[in-house]
Structure 1
Amino acid sequence: MVLLSRSYAVGYPLTFNNPSKLKSRFRDAQPPFFLTCVYGDPVKAARQQVWDTITEFGHIKADNWIYLWDFNSYLAWHEKKGGNRKNFKDISQFQTMLDRCQLLDIGAHGPTYTWNNHRAGRDNIIIRLDRVLANQAWRNAYLEAIVTVQGSTGSDHLPLCLDSEGGRSSGMRPFRFDSMWFTHLDCQNAATKAWTIPMVSVATRKLKMKTENCKVVFREWNRDIFGNVHRKIESLLHELQRIQRDPSPDNQQRELEIHQLLEIEYNREELMW
């Protein structure tokens, strides 16, 4: 999961199935809120214990609070495609926990299903196991928040991205010289071009003007030359996300091909580092 805001971007690994042990408070957020990452027990008989723990401290919380990640459960039959339909009790228990804690599923943009067993034909099962739940206080505080389901290259789960500000931009990204640019053979040429452009100015301003010119030249150079690998990776990830919306047999084959192409591009990108 990746959480985005104007002032921070945080990635969370999933390490506990006891939600009370994985709790963070974002004091810098406005307004502040609590976040709990939840891993629903993969053993159905033990999953109720996780719901009971959430209910224990969740049903009385008046603070802004969200719960997210892999609940290992789904809320309705339309959230599962393939396999049998014998989990009504599990659906009911999951829904009961949401009702008791008055949690809302804030939905997501992107593929409907977040988990895929990657088996072929009739053995293929896809389910929406990952989601973001919020209490009413959090939802009222972050009305523009959106969740997007991203493409996955090495997992049976699709990652979630929660943007608390709904994708609003606070302006142009500040320029930062990236040390991996040094690995590119053309980096020195770009630096020379930026530094040797003739300028008519007093000596005290030349250094500042050349520094500003480096920002312009390297932004263009990164976009047109160095950034080609990144754009190719981004394009492949977009295609991957698109076909993961409809995991048909034909798309499964194309998904394998994209994974192979991404591996090549990631290796090229690693050389740049």
Structure 2
Amino acid sequence: MWQVMWLEDRISGPDDLLVNVIMSLWIQRKGGLALIWNDPFDITICSYSVGHIDCIITHDHRVWRFTGFYGNPIPHLIQQSWDLLHRLAQMREFQHLPWLVGGDFNEILYEEEKIGGSMRSLSQMSAFREALNSCNLRDIHCLGDQFTWCNRRQQQDIIFERLDRFVCSSEWQLIYPSADVHNLDFYGSDHRLIMISNNPHLDGRFSKGPRRFTFEHKWMLEEDFPLLLEHWNNGGLPGDLPAKLSTFSGILNSWADTRFSHMARKISNLHKELSYLQHSRLAKDNYSRIASLEKEIEKLVVQEEIHWKQRARSNWL
């Protein structure tokens, strides 16, 4: 299992945040990039500048390329960053290697990746998309809140943007098809810590604190879900709005943990029972139970499909 992490400004999270870090890359307050890794990796630094660190990684008999990237924050100079990315892509000695690029690109791909403030220039976003396309790099869909930067202003002036991301070549995705990007918390920075991992068991709860709340569309298929909403609608939750949201999300998470744990096992057990009853001599006597099982299996299968669709990587360029 490996993890690659990016945090702009500084790392100031709890100590246990760094226990399993294999590589981390961040922009320091005084400027400059730093790349840190643990012994299991064999790292060869190929090139570096104020806007990138390029290296070759050998791990578990696989060789691939990683580039930590920092886009120029000055809009009229950011084309220089895209030119740099293009030059890196054109380096013949590395073109055969699977490629992962991550960092603060200081640009968004689409209007939906920004809330608040003035509208982003269409030409700026288009230039970013064209840069990734010309380098054969694809955006990797993220889990968690997609907005990785916040200006931390008052509510009427607050701005959220997805400036930090991982992108990869199709060859890289083929060797790590289960890799996921997790947008974690703002650890003492106006940027979120972002992490990509090939560990299929990670669920985004990287620290020991409360896990991030994510609304699941599959919940709405449960008959008792509307009853849970009464906790919110009846106005009985204590505290101000943030406190109410925290309490209500805890209620939903606890309910979901009980209701949706071991989904695959539940579906398998229901299939076994259904098969037994359908092939039993007493099938006619168990018609109502058979119909009930078929209905329950259909609902669970639909919920499973919704679950994975919500997590699907649908943001490929």
**TM superposition score normalised by structure 2:** 0.51
CA contact (8 A) 2:100 2:168 kept: yes
Give, in whole Å, the separation in 1 of the partners of 2:60 and 2:101.
16
* 1:222-242 deviation digits (Å, cap 9, x = unpaired): xxxxxxxxx9x7225x3xx44
- The answer to whether the aligner puts 1:78 opposite 2:112 as a matched pair is yes
Structure 2 CA distance for partners of 1:153 and 1:20, relative to 1, 3 Å? closer
- The answer to whether the aligner puts 1:101 opposite 2:135 as a matched pair is yes
Task: Describe the SS at the equivalent of 1:137.
Answer: helix
1:134-173 superposed matches below 5 A: 134-167=168-201
Give, in whole Å, the separation in 2 of the partners of 1:20 and 1:72.
11
CA contact (8 A) 1:19 1:37 kept: no
Structure 2 CA distance for partners of 1:21 and 1:117, relative to 1, 3 Å? closer
CA contact (8 A) 2:51 2:71 kept: no
Greater CA drift, 12-21 or 24-33: 12-21
CA contact (8 A) 1:82 1:125 kept: yes
Structure 2 CA distance for partners of 1:29 and 1:23, relative to 1, 3 Å? farther
1:202-217 superposed matches below 5 A: none
CA contact (8 A) 1:103 1:134 kept: yes
Give, in whole Å, the separation in 1 of the partners of 2:84 and 2:50.
7
TM-fit CA distance, 1:250: 4.6
- The answer to whether the aligner puts 1:9 opposite 2:47 as a matched pair is no
Structure 2 CA distance for partners of 1:26 and 1:135, relative to 1, 3 Å? same
Give, in whole Å, the separation in 2 of the partners of 1:114 and 1:21.
19
Instruction: Report the equivalent of 1:90.
Output: 124
The one-letter amino acid of 2:200's match is: G
CA contact (8 A) 2:52 2:68 kept: no
CA contact (8 A) 2:150 2:160 kept: yes
CA contact (8 A) 2:51 2:81 kept: no
The one-letter amino acid of 2:56's match is: R
Give, in whole Å, the separation in 2 of the partners of 1:117 and 1:54.
27
Q: Match for 1:49 among 76, 80, 83? A: 80
TM-fit CA distance, 1:166: 2.9
TM-fit CA distance, 1:8: 7.2
The one-letter amino acid of 2:4's match is: L
Task: Describe the SS at the equivalent of 1:32.
Answer: strand
Structure 2 CA distance for partners of 1:20 and 1:120, relative to 1, 3 Å? closer
Q: Structure 2: where are the runs of 5+ without partners?
A: 6-19, 34-47, 215-239, 247-317
Give, in whole Å, the separation in 1 of the partners of 2:109 and 2:100.
17
Give, in whole Å, the separation in 2 of the partners of 1:154 and 1:20.
22
Greater CA drift, 30-39 or 12-21: 12-21
Structure 2 CA distance for partners of 1:127 and 1:251, relative to 1, 3 Å? farther
TM-fit CA distance, 1:27: 1.0
TM-fit CA distance, 1:18: 4.0
State the superposition RMSD in angstroms.
3.0
Q: Match for 1:39 among 51, 66, 70? A: 70
TM-fit CA distance, 1:164: 2.5
Instruction: Report the equivalent of 1:235.
Output: 209
Structure 2 CA distance for partners of 1:3 and 1:167, relative to 1, 3 Å? farther
Task: Describe the SS at the equivalent of 1:13.
Answer: strand
TM-fit CA distance, 1:57: 2.5
The one-letter amino acid of 1:24's match is: C
Give, in whole Å, the separation in 2 of the partners of 1:82 and 1:31.
43
CA contact (8 A) 2:151 2:159 kept: yes
The one-letter amino acid of 1:43's match is: I
Structure 2 CA distance for partners of 1:37 and 1:242, relative to 1, 3 Å? same
Q: Structure 1: where are the runs of 5+ without partners?
A: 169-230, 244-248, 256-273
How many pairs are equivalent? Answer: 181
1:186-205 superposed matches below 5 A: none
Instruction: Report the equivalent of 2:292.
Output: none
**TM superposition score normalised by structure 1:** 0.59
Structure 2 CA distance for partners of 1:164 and 1:124, relative to 1, 3 Å? same
Structure 2 CA distance for partners of 1:18 and 1:107, relative to 1, 3 Å? farther
